[in-house]
Amino acid sequence: MKPVELDIVEVPEGLFLMGANPENDVEAEPNEDPQRKIWLSAYKIQRTPVTIDLWNQFLKSTNYNWHFYEALHSFYKEMVNNSPSGECPITYVSWFDAYEFTKWLQSILGGSYSLPTEAQWEKACRGERGQLYPWGSEEPDDYYTLPPFSKTPISVGTRPDRQSPYGCLDMWQNVAEWCFDWFNEELYCFGEECYYNDPTKTVNPIGSTTGEFKIWRGGTNMWQTGWPRCSYRGFAKSSFRHPSLGFRVVLNL
C-alpha cells in the first residue's frame, strides 16, 4: 500500500479570540456570540482538506462501505473523472464517513487523529487575535470568481497567498468542512444576556455530547452571507452529504 502522507501544521497551545462581536462585525450571526478568549492545548491540523486521492486510498485500504459510492457508483466515477485533479477536496461525505476516515488514520499511523473541534478549526483559521478572515480583516475582492460560481471545487492549495496565520489553506473557499462537535440549540442565559454558546467553557471546549446536527465550518459563498469569515458556524445532520462539503483532520498532541 502506498504510504499515507499528511501535510500538517502545528498550532501551539495558548489563548485565542473565538466568536464574533456584533458591534464590530456587521456580518455576525446570533450563534457566533459571544466573543471570548479560549485556551486550547497544542495540536496539529491538515494544511488543506482531505483530497480525492487520499480518500480513494482510504477506500482501497479498508473496503469501507461508502453508501454514496455504492448508491451512485457511476455518478461518483464521473465526478472524479471530471475533477481538475485528484488534489481536489473529496465531497459527498457524511460526518460518519469522515469519522471513519479518522479511525483509519489512527489504525495505520498510531496517533490521536480526529475531526477538529470547532474551536480548533477556528483558531487554525484566524490565529490568536480574532481576525475576520484567514488572511486578516480585509474583505475579499474576488467573490464571483470562486465556487460555486466556478461550478466545481478547485485543487487544494491553489491560493497560498490566502493562508491562515498557521499556514492553513482552503479555509476561505472551496468546501465547507465537518467538525467534531454537535450543534447545541440550547440558549445559555446570564442575567439579561443569552447566547447559543456556553461562555463559561473556556478551556478546550467541545460541544454537546449528543444532538441532531453536526457543526461544519468554512466553505464558499454558497453557504453564508458572511463568506468566508472564520467565526461563521453552520450545521447539518450527520448523515448529510453535499457537493461542497468535505473535511480535514487534526492530530491531538
- For residue 220, give the nearest of 126, 151, 164 by alpha carbon: 151
For the segment 129-166, what is each residue's pLDDT rounded down to a tens digit? 899 999 998 887 765 555 444 456 788 998 898 899 99
pTM for the whole structure: 0.91
Q: Which of 58-62, 72-76, 207-211 has the highest mean pLDDT?
A: 58-62
The number of domains in the chain is 1
What is the pLDDT of the chain when averaged over all its residues? 86
Please compute the mean of the pLDDT values over residues 90-103 and round it to a whole number. 95
Average pLDDT for 111-139:
94
Task: Indicate which CATH number applies to the domain containing 184.
Answer: 3.90.1580.10
Q: What is the pLDDT of residue 141?
A: 72
Phi, psi at residue 223, to the nearest 5°? -95, -30
Inform me whether the pLDDT recorded for 220 exceeds 80.
Answer: no
Q: Is the pLDDT of residue 12 over 70?
A: yes
Assigned domain for 2 exists: no
In a domain? residue 3? no
For position 148, what pLDDT does the model report? 46
Residue 1 lies in a domain: no
**Region of poorest pLDDT, from 29-38, 67-76, 131-140, 152-161:** 67-76
pLDDT tens by residue, 39-62:
999 999 999 999 989 998 999 899
What domain range is 117 assigned to? 8-252
